Amino acid sequence: MDSIFGYIDDVYLFCKVVEEGSVLAAANRLGLPQSTVSRRISSLEQKLGLRLLEKHGRELAPTELGKMAFDQLSSGVEQIEIGLNNVTEKTDLVAGRVRLAVPHSFYHSFIAPIVEQYLKTYPNVHIDLALNHDQSKPKTDRELLITFDTSDMEDLIARPLFTAKHGFFASASYLDERAPIETLEQLEQADWLTIDDARRIQVVNDGRVVGDIELKLDWLSMISKPWLMLSSAGLEWRHCH
């Protein structure tokens, strides 16, 4: 025999048949048709010019030459399996550095536990985290960016992560002291408090954008009147799913 080319698969099947005690058991173990395993064993015997297996009652056992072949070859087959597994494990190893930018309020409210669990699962990964304002694009390069505003980001590939419901909220006492708010102009003139840095927000009714309003914040009133109207633009009021 000048080369082992064309023998490796057949030798592997032969060793598995000896280990399992039958062609059927080896075929089931490997998820192969029994006929395929039988044919490959017969092909190996023909190429070697040797009888490797013989029946003893209902069991299939190696011949004397088959025992010698198994003793000589099984350790090599096992080493090949170990080597391939080692190569695969190294290929599957998750490692490296990821530069991630996340809005600070969103990170503390939602992302932090996920990042912490990810780092425990993949200890060879280092995350270079940058916390930024909710509506700002980071000045430094980042591989990953989580943001609520994709405008002016045509150079990036965006993927939606979740949907969020937004709403405007006011205390009953505030509404009792004011005329009913029925127009965008009246809504814009209300006393606003926001949790994030948004100053201009869209108003959506039944899934349709009906206009934008500019928030006019009265910081002195906010300090003295905690019941002022509250915008749900902040993350604490977002319902994500």
Q: Which of 73, 89, 105 is the last residue of a domain?
A: 89
In percent, the amount of the chain with pLDDT more than 90 equals 22
pLDDT for the residue 52:
93
116 shares its domain with 190: no
Nearest alpha-carbon partner for 13 in 29, 56, 4: 29
Check pLDDT > 50 for residue 85: yes
Check pLDDT > 80 for residue 78: yes
Taking only the tens place, the pLDDT of each residue in 162-188 is 877 777 788 888 888 888 888 888 888
81 shares its domain with 123: no
The number of residues in the chain equals 241
CA atoms within 13 A on the CB side of 199: 5
CA distance 61 to 37: 15
69 shares its domain with 102: no
* pTM score above 0.75: no
What's the pLDDT band for 136 if we cut at 50, 70, 90?
A: low
Report yes or no on 151 lying in a domain. Answer: no
Q: List the domain range (segments joined by +) for residue 35.
A: 7-89
175 shares its domain with 224: yes
What's the pLDDT band for 217 if we cut at 50, 70, 90?
A: low
21 shares its domain with 83: yes
pLDDT for the residue 15:
92
What's the pLDDT band for 158 if we cut at 50, 70, 90?
A: confident
Q: What is the mean pLDDT of the chain?
A: 79
78 shares its domain with 113: no
Report yes or no on 150 lying in a domain. Answer: no
CA distance 69 to 12: 12
Report yes or no on 13 lying in a domain. Answer: yes
Q: How many domains does the chain have?
A: 3
85 shares its domain with 103: no
pLDDT for the residue 223:
53
114 shares its domain with 77: no
Check pLDDT > 70 for residue 3: no
> H or E element: which one contains 54?
strand 53-56
pLDDT for the residue 82:
86
pLDDT for the residue 137:
63
> Burial of 52 by CB count in 10 Å (0-12 exposed, 13-18 middle, 19+ buried)?
buried
55 shares its domain with 125: no
Phi/psi at 169 (nearest 5 deg)?
A: -130, 145
CA distance 131 to 233: 18
Phi/psi at 79 (nearest 5 deg)?
A: -65, -35
134 shares its domain with 184: no
List the structure tokens of 48: 């070697």
User: What CATH number is attached to the domain comprising 53?
Assistant: 1.10.10.10
For 41, 129, 133, the CA distances from 103, given in Å and listed in that order, are 62, 10, 5
